[in-house]
Amino acid sequence: MKNKKFFSNIKSWFLNRWQSNYFRKSFLLILFITSIPGIISGIAIYSFGLSSTENELRKVHLEEIDERAKNIDAQFNYLEESLTYWAFEPTFNYQLITTDFVYEFQTTRDIMQKLMVLEGSQPLINEVDLFIETAKGPVLFTPYLNHIKEGEAQQAYLSLLESSKNITWDHNEEFYQNTEYPSDLILTHQIPGVINSPFGAIVVSIDNEILMRTLETLTPYSNGVTLLMNENNELLFSTETASDNSFTNKLVSMFSSEDVTDRSFQIDWNDKTYSVSYGTFDRVGSEWTYVSAAPISAITTPIITISKVILIASLTVLGLAFLLTWFASNRLYQPIRNLASSFTPTNSSSAKGTKDEFKQIRDRIDMLTSESEQLEKRITRQIPQLRQNFLIQLTKGFLYDFDEKALKRRMENYRWNVDDQSFVLLDIQLTGMCNKDKHTYEDESLIAFAMANIAEDLTKEYLEQYTVLNQYDMTATIFLIVPNQITNVTELLEQLANDITTAINRVLSRYVTITISSKTPKIKDINFLFEEIGRVKRFRDFNKQNQILMLNEVEKEVTGQKLFYPFEMEKEIIQCIRRGRINETEELIRQFFDELLNNSTKEVSVQAGIMQLYSAIQHEILHSGVDPVVLYKGRNMYAELSQLREIEWVVKWLTEQVITPYITFLEDNMNMELKAVVDKIVSYIEEHYMEDISLESCAEYVDTTPYTLSKAFKKVHGVNFIDYLTKVRMTKAKELLLQTNMKINEIAEAVGYRHSYFNRIFKKHVGLPPSQYRKSSASNL
């Protein structure tokens, strides 16, 4: 009885609700929303989402390995170039064929050191060996000296000399079977350099572990495989860890049968889907193919599972949706029923305490409006930073593919008005101190910050639209948007530059170089304005204090200007460095710059001279056997030098940061006793050059062997003993020819030569016979 009454009430309640048109529509709408979209979504995800995801993953895979392959190719190129450089090393000459490496231990040690330096020069290298076919039989430096006595091993190494290629990755099977190299990748270079009859070879073996880690970067997802094959599609290396290498063999067979036509494709293997992409490396004498197989099943499987779950859940819920939708529709209908009953006077009492949904909506809108206003204020505060970021992207070339309309829209989004406007750049560069007695900032970042603030405060008095870019290297650039209605733009900018110069001189006590670019109405040309600024400001005058540079004026001023470089002064500086005289070197550098400035005061000329001098010093450092990278701990010395804008800063930097560490290093690592011996010989030559001097007599004079003296002299001065003696005698001879009336035979005896030999050696070193040299020099005077 109770059940019948319950169902009767349910039926009455349902009919009462169903009579409402709003209830029926909401019921049917909710039923459709809760079931049909789920079914459609599941089908769509499974049909289109999976295919789209796989295609996108293959595309991303190909793009990633192309970029990473460039890095790997660069490492192999560097290895090949380094090996070619070492193959031309003067140490590896034909004298090694007859060298007794046991007796001549110095030569043996030099070879071992060079091999160890080459071995540590590149992370891919596992071991560097040197094979030499000497007169006493083949030897192998590993880097220690080993004599190859086994006939098969000798034939294996001799096959390196029979190859038609000076440098190669390809070797016959005999070489691998009869040698003990753990790696399958071997790079060899015949020595010496490019020659038809080599007597040896440098053998470089690749570290398999490092090569595996390097090649694994070509596989963006875990559990992938990377292959390396030669031009015959033969496997060189694989990162697969499985013992049977079945997947590797599958990939190799695909490429060997030339079934591959697309650079990126999919294959299924062991219930997994792999994205396979490949490319090539151009190696010396051959072409390698790299193959990257990345599993994408881990990414696509959830899509399939989700789509199936959605389909099953949608069909399951369809049965429950009817009942749930009924109750949901009733809940949606209830506020409308309450709202309708509120207009009925008989139900006015029942309407008390009901919620006003429309009031809630109105309150919500008011709250969102308030939040929107707050966000607008925050965006306004971020506009200057967004503008700076846009200009940086523009100058770096990140927006190169954007057309003029797209760039205009972006600038308008940053609240710039670019209609009927032109663009100009004004670059501010701080140089030296103009008031050394006045307090200045010690922190350059504070100086740069103060300079940018001064520029911004003054610029807003002239133009409404501008952006200041603080480079934080004692320079700042002002991006100006100038209305086309202004006709006197040049005068306006010059007045602004003068005001900025005066303010910086007064507040920061610094001299200023301001460079003004040309004007352009195109947004895409703004990048060229930055390039123009960088080019023009290099023509600033070192002797001037405050300067304002403009393109047209600078081009007229530097037209026809010739570059001058004091080579003789450079030689004196190098000689002074060799002798370890830091104070004298600093004074010579100052004289060097005085000569530079006497001939050209433009920064572009002076900077070229500065770079050339540093290059000469670095060449001397390299020539002495010291690695600048190690000496200066990997610092970018050229970048540091290019940032120095004052001669005094350059002199101090060269003395304290370049020369002093080098001389200190030499003093700590060089046999100072030998250096003192060489200095003693140099003094002896200066005093006795007119006598019969020989290497043996000088060695006896300082109580050492001729060999030791020759090596020490070469190491300290960079030239042989006899070349140095000849240079001194030729210098004295030229002085006597020009400054005295002595006869040629008298001059020959005065500098320690016989007359006939003197004429021959003088012409060899000077280019003219002594008599003709005297006449030509006298006519020039």
For residues 159 and 471, what is the distance between their CA atoms, to the nearest angstrom? 59
β-bridge partners, 333: none
Read off φ and ψ for residue 14, nearest 5 degrees: -65, -45
Residues 6+ apart with CB under 8 A from 44: none
pLDDT (tens digit, 9 = 90+) per residue, 232-252? 777 777 877 766 677 777 777
The DSSP code sequence of 485-514 is T-S-HHHHHHHHHHHHHHHHHHHH-EEEEE
Cis peptide preceding 521, ω within 30 of 0: no
Check residue 199 and give its pLDDT.
83
Mean pLDDT across 317-328:
59
Check residue 323 and give its pLDDT.
59
> Which stretch, 313-327, 328-342, 546-560, has highest mean pLDDT?
546-560
For residue 133, pLDDT beyond 80: yes
Mean pLDDT across 85-114:
80
For residues 389 and 408, what is the distance between their CA atoms, to the nearest angstrom? 15
Confidence of residue 346 (pLDDT cuts 50, 70, 90): very low
- Range with the lowest mean pLDDT among 121-125, 128-132, 600-604? 600-604
For residues 564 and 591, what is the distance between their CA atoms, to the nearest angstrom? 14
Residues 6+ apart with CB under 8 A from 660: 582
For residue 342, pLDDT beyond 70: no
Task: Round the average pLDDT of the chain to a whole number and report it.
Answer: 76
For residues 709 and 682, what is the distance between their CA atoms, to the nearest angstrom? 12
The pTM for the full model equals 0.40
Check residue 423 and give its pLDDT.
92
Mean pLDDT across 553-557:
59
pLDDT (tens digit, 9 = 90+) per residue, 674-715? 777 888 888 888 888 888 888 888 888 888 777 677 878 887
pLDDT (tens digit, 9 = 90+) per residue, 658-670? 888 887 876 666 5
Closest CA to 83 of 244, 206, 184: 206
Mean pLDDT across 473-487:
87
Read off φ and ψ for residue 128, nearest 5 degrees: -125, 120
Mean pLDDT across 95-105:
80
Check residue 357 and give its pLDDT.
44
Mean pLDDT across 359-375:
68
pLDDT (tens digit, 9 = 90+) per residue, 379-389? 778 888 888 88
Give the whole-number percent of the chain exceeding pLDDT 90: 1
Confidence of residue 53 (pLDDT cuts 50, 70, 90): low
CB 237 within 8 A of CB 184: yes
Give the whole-number percent of the chain exceeding pLDDT 70: 74
CB 568 within 8 A of CB 583: no
- Range with the lowest mean pLDDT among 127-136, 304-313, 501-510, 728-737? 304-313
Mean pLDDT across 74-88:
80
For residues 22 and 415, what is the distance between their CA atoms, to the nearest angstrom? 48
Check residue 5 and give its pLDDT.
63
For residue 672, pLDDT beyond 80: no
Mean pLDDT across 199-219:
81
Confidence of residue 438 (pLDDT cuts 50, 70, 90): very low
**3-state secondary structure labels for all residues of 174-222:** HHHHCCCCCCCCEEEEEECCCCCCCCEEEEEEECHHHHHHHHHCCCCCC
- Range with the lowest mean pLDDT among 345-349, 488-492, 716-720? 345-349
Closest CA to 58 of 348, 293, 303: 293
Cβ neighbours around 429 below 10 Å, total:
24
Check residue 58 and give its pLDDT.
65
For residues 683 and 590, what is the distance between their CA atoms, to the nearest angstrom? 26
Cβ neighbours around 543 below 10 Å, total:
7
Confidence of residue 325 (pLDDT cuts 50, 70, 90): low
Check residue 344 and give its pLDDT.
46
Confidence of residue 164 (pLDDT cuts 50, 70, 90): confident
pLDDT (tens digit, 9 = 90+) per residue, 165-184? 778 887 777 777 778 776 66
pLDDT (tens digit, 9 = 90+) per residue, 751-761? 888 887 888 88
Q: What is the DSSP letter of 270?
A: T
Residues 6+ apart with CB under 8 A from 71: 217
